[in-house]
Chain A
Amino acid sequence: MYRYDTIDREMLADRSAEFREQVERRLAGDLAEDQFKPLRLMNGLYLQLHAYMLRVAIPYGALNPTQLRKLAWIGRTYDKGYGHFTTRQNLQFHWIKLADTPDILDHLASVDMHAIQTSGNCIRNITADPYAGATAEEIDDPRVWAEAMRQWSTLHPEFSFLPRKFKIAITAAPKDRTAAKVHDIGLVVRRARDGQLGFEVMVGGGMGRTPYIGSTIREFLPANRLFSYLEAILRVYNRHGRRDNSYKARIKILVAALGAEEFARQVEAEWEKVGASVDLPDTELARIRGAFAPMSFETLPAVSEAHEAAKASDPAYARFVRNNVKPHKKAGYGIVEISLKTVGETPGDATAEQMEAVADLAERYGQDDIRVTHEQNLVLPHVRLDDLPSVHAALRAAGLASANINLASDIIACPGLDYCALANARSISVAQHIAQKFADPDRAERVGELKIKISGCINACGHHHVGHIGILGVDKKGEEFYQLTLGGSGAEDAAVGQALGPALPYDRVADAVDTLVETYLRERHDGERFLDTFRRTGVAPFKEAVYADVH
């Protein structure tokens, strides 16, 4: 993975010292809350319902064991012994004290981490494929580009006060594990017929109160022109974005207002002016690429005897392999997804002990590499199949062996009203009740791929718009109600979900989801996922089933 250089480390030390001084000035009364708030937000520090919340950046979701152990230590020392992984591949601590924060930032800096640009109207943490460098599907390693974009966007003076926050995702595989089409900019690495590397550039996707699927404004951007083109997009947005209305300030609103074609025309015109001088020199790209040089994989047989024997003798292991282990580009290796969605637990939460267990496994069996997915799970991208039984046993001991990746209980849920100052309704307990319905692993596997996503308010941190079943918490005269949507997808077949009908009260949501799934099982044709069946039948049979049940 990429290692910070002296400049990076000095920058973090300066930034941490600066924030320490700002906190001291706030506590001494030299800064008013209105003056201090934007400063703390620039360092990822929010004031939530019960305490301060610190959002730590995990660039493109990549961690090494030292960093994960440090996060565990911070969780144990300054929080209540856990952390919460988010849909931007970041980690949040929910019980932080303001006075402790400068020390925490120092500890983060000691392992090349920080909380910069995890809040505010700037370019946020860049999402990348968590299988990068491990999947045979990819055209190039997207981390190389994500790291280059991280360096370019960090403290970029021109893009530190955008009309609104700005999110970029990059994937290099046909299977999109980044939700690229619902980002402000989605980049898909492409290779032209002549072998040239480039990007499909999508702009104006997003969720929130006005969801849009991004529009492709360039089918093929030569890779060496990426930064001038990004700069042109950001400049057009910075100039014309709706600063007068925060609800209309995201780039998606601008792209929709102008039309994708006109937006693209303005970007191309700006691109002409920007020129190539801001593009990444080949030498710098090569330097960054060197940090992601292929691992030293062993030459192994494609079939592992130990792995096959364990599959044959241990049904729980076989189930784990079926659902959580994905093909690796190298024979004899696998990509292991670690579910943070154990039934009954809080989606995305990991205890300090669990983080340490994963760090140990990455060190011992996983080439020191850990990833966070935007679906709030962890990944060990490079595990020898021979080692998989040992990894599974260790995960089981740590309470991390749930074999439910992409199944109904693998639910995205924002912190919701249990923690978040903005939330209307709870998300976590709704997720827990639904997960309980699919606690029988045979039933969950029979249902197959089903992405349920829950947000506690219209800001859509839980990605409900793109859930196969989306659930949005709303406030009806102070009571928790939930609007259900069906047919959304954040993957390569991206779509915004369609409303099912009137909002349901809190205690009816899990039963309604159960009814939706039973309807799917009744209606599905061979090989159809929930999403496929919904797209074929439309909303009618689902609506009829749920509202017949409710009334």
Chain B
Amino acid sequence: MKALTANRLTDGEVVFWRQGQWVERFAEADLFAGDDPAGEAAEGRAKTQVLVVVEPYLIDLVESEGLWAPLSYRERIRALGPTNLNHGKQTEGGAAIAALKHAHGASRSTGRVDLIRRK
């Protein structure tokens, strides 16, 4: 599965695609099957929203405690907040946050790969 993420232009907040809009909670993000062209179509649409977000990209997901979580550690930190202080999105708590915290798995983040490619 995949989700679409970006940073919001006005404040840099990590946001996720949901039916053409952007939401702050990963748990509310639209999920796309890996081979579903809707994911890439959404990414294409997101890239035109240049007054709303910066650098949208698709991320791979992994199952965790019956829910979905980003596969890459970097993306889990983006979805949760930094691990050194409890002052990011993780403060909300609940099952969705717990699933993110307990998720395992590893992959290179598409966001970081894009960043390096652009440099």
Residues of A that sit less than 8 Å from B by CB: 26-27, 29, 32-33, 47-52, 80, 96-99, 246, 346, 417-419, 421-424, 426, 428-429, 432, 475, 477-480
Known: A33-B55, A98-B11, A428-B82. 9 other contacts (CB 8 A): A27-B51, A32-B50, A33-B9, A418-B84, A419-B82, A477-B108, A478-B72, A478-B109, A479-B73
B37 to chain A, nearest CB (A): 25
Q: Are A47 and B74 touching (Cβ within 8 A)?
A: no
Q: How large is the interface on B (under 10, 10 to 19, 20 to 34, 35 or more residues)?
A: 20 to 34
B49 to chain A, nearest CB (A): 11
**B54 contact set on A, CB distance < 8 A:** 33, 47
B46 to chain A, nearest CB (A): 13
Which residue from chain B places its CB closest to the CB of A424 in the assembled complex? B112
**A475 contact set on B, CB distance < 8 A:** 108, 112
Q: Are A33 and B107 touching (Cβ within 8 A)?
A: no
B26 to chain A, nearest CB (A): 13
A26 to chain B, nearest CB (A): 8
Q: Can you spell out 8 A-B residue pairs with CB atoms less than 8 angstroms apart? A: A27-B9, A33-B9, A47-B7, A48-B12, A49-B82, A96-B12, A97-B12, A423-B74
Supposing A27-B51, A477-B106 touch, asked if A432 and B84 sit within 8 A by C-beta, the answer is yes
Which parts of B69-92 form the interface with A (CB within 8 Å)?
A: 71-74, 77-78, 81-85, 87-88
Contact with A along B1-15 (1 / 0, CB 8 A): 000000101111110
A79 to chain B, nearest CB (A): 10
**B41 within 8 Å of A (CB atoms):** no
Contact partner of B73 (CB less than 8 A), chosen from A96, A99, A421, A478, is A478
Q: Determine the distance from Cα of A432 to Cα of B83 in the docked complex, in whole angstroms.
A: 11
Complex A-B, nearest 4 residue pairs according to Cβ-Cβ distance, in ascending order: A478-B106, A418-B82, A97-B11, A51-B12
**A432 contact set on B, CB distance < 8 A:** 84
Which residue from chain A places its CB closest to the CB of B88 in the assembled complex? A50
**B11 contact set on A, CB distance < 8 A:** 51-52, 97-99
A53 to chain B, nearest CB (A): 8
Q: Are B51 and A29 touching (Cβ within 8 A)?
A: yes
**A417 contact set on B, CB distance < 8 A:** 73-74, 77
B55 to chain A, nearest CB (A): 8
Supposing A80-B87, A421-B112, A422-B115 touch, asked if A51 and B73 sit within 8 A by C-beta, the answer is no
B11 to chain A, nearest CB (A): 4
**B102 within 8 Å of A (CB atoms):** no
**B119 contact set on A, CB distance < 8 A:** 246
Supposing A346-B85, A426-B83, A479-B106 touch, asked if A50 and B14 sit within 8 A by C-beta, the answer is yes
Which residue from chain A places its CB closest to the CB of B71 in the assembled complex? A478
A442 to chain B, nearest CB (A): 27
Contact with A along B84-119 (1 / 0, CB 8 A): 110110000000000000000111110110010001
Q: Determine the distance from Cα of A92 to Cα of B32 in the docked complex, in whole angstroms.
A: 37
**A48 contact set on B, CB distance < 8 A:** 12
Q: Are B14 and A49 touching (Cβ within 8 A)?
A: yes
Most buried by B among A98, A99, A432, A477: A98
Q: Are B10 and A27 touching (Cβ within 8 A)?
A: yes
B81 to chain A, nearest CB (A): 7
Q: Determine the distance from Cα of A246 to Cα of B74 in the docked complex, in whole angstroms.
A: 24
**B108 contact set on A, CB distance < 8 A:** 475, 477-478
Q: Determine the distance from Cα of A99 to Cα of B51 in the docked complex, in whole angstroms.
A: 13
**A80 contact set on B, CB distance < 8 A:** 87
Which residue from chain B places its CB closest to the CB of A46 in the assembled complex? B12
B107 to chain A, nearest CB (A): 4
Q: Determine the distance from Cα of A52 to Cα of B14 in the docked complex, in whole angstroms.
A: 11
Q: Are B73 and A480 touching (Cβ within 8 A)?
A: yes
Which residue from chain A places its CB closest to the CB of B106 in the assembled complex? A478
Q: Are B115 and A421 touching (Cβ within 8 A)?
A: yes
